Structure 1
Amino acid sequence: MLIKIKLSSSKFGSDQKEFWKYIESIKEQFLIQNKNFDYLFNIETPEKNENLLKNYFGLNLRNKFFEKRAIEFQSTFFINLESINYGSLILGLDFTPISSVLEFFNNNFELFESALKNYSIFAFSESVFPTVPMHKNPLLSENFTVTIENSSEIKEIFKLSNKKYKKELNLASEKPKWLWIISNTSLIIPLGLSIYIILKSFYMFGQIEEFRAKNYNEFIKTYLELNNPEKEISK
């Protein structure tokens, strides 16, 4: 997910040379009161400066996100600074994988936007002056404004992801209901079969008893006829 953020300041100048000249002036002012600190950038090598900024910015921004999150996050994502355009400083940030970014911010674009705007200033300041404690960082006193250039596009990604999440959440809540219905419905067949077998057994038992009773009566009748002395005398 490529996100373009714009850091704006009236002091940035209109091109690469003026921007790094501005950064150099900040460094010189800071050196007056702070003698011992390492400064990695050189006004004479703007391309090297850009590579250093690319190396530091994405990592610093990601660390700011994770250190401010109270709940432990199992997945991870990475932020790479892909491009730098001057005038207002436009940084092209590649967030990958997008699924982890969406999960990290709970599919909430407003939360993501607020965090990105706030922490980008810290990440930028720390990237330019990496060895200076944050509370002493001279860039934090500058008046930067941060906007997301392609916010409508990114907002749509969050919106679609949020809809998908809610749909999956509804399906997940419906699943136990369906499992209950299926599991209970599945009992109807064996239960019905059992009732049928029981009823059939009673019916067959009744038939057997009826058959036994009938034959028993026939047996008694025959027995009495064979053992009737009066009948023998009459013969």
Structure 2
Amino acid sequence: MTVKENLQKIQEEIAAACQRSGRNLNDVKIIAVTKYVTVERTQQALDAGVFHIGENRVEGLLEKTNSINADPVLHFIGSLQSKKVKKVIDHIDYLHSLDRLSLAEEIQKRWSSQEPLKCFVQVNVSGEESKSGLDPNQIISFIHDLSLFPAIQVVGLMTMAPFVENSEETRPVFKQLRLLQQEVQALSLEHAPCTELSMGMSNDYIIAVEEGATFIRIGSSLVG
């Protein structure tokens, strides 16, 4: 299938999930995760109507930034080493993997814009050792600490669910992140409005949408 055909199928499934859960379709944004595909394939996604591109490698992000014929919203969705912040900081619109104060310090050091960088705090809801992110019990304290860094705005929380055959099994993970996001939002912190949820990938995005995802990160199902 073409990227355009894939996108249409995904959009139809998102619309159905929104209808089932009483959500507004416009509140869900698709990030095309292009880490495994060429610049040409990335361009096809943009031409098909995707506005958000996600990369998890610094080299991939810079390659796409320098080569694509468009001006998409760029998301860095992988774990970011502090020493590589200076390479990507001027290219990205969102960071999905803020999980330590040393990274926040480096962002503060390198950030040159008048507007803060939109960041998602990464949460390891499932507790898997193979996944990055903070323990849910650390989130409130961590977000309070981020008030020391005016270059950072916490727009939401991000997580990755376990990869399982039955996507329904991921629902408790997404639900817990939503409840945690609502807890942070209720604090009414100026530096952390926390209105967004980055969760759901190719194998589980339908469940994520039903549980409140506002950004879903789709790779293989969209661009291959």
Structure with bigger helix share is: 1
User: Please, what TM-score do these two structures have when normalized by structure 2?
Assistant: 0.22
Tell me which of the two structures has the higher relative contact order, counting C-alpha pairs closer than 8 angstroms and 6 or more residues apart. 1
User: Please, what TM-score do these two structures have when normalized by structure 1?
Assistant: 0.21
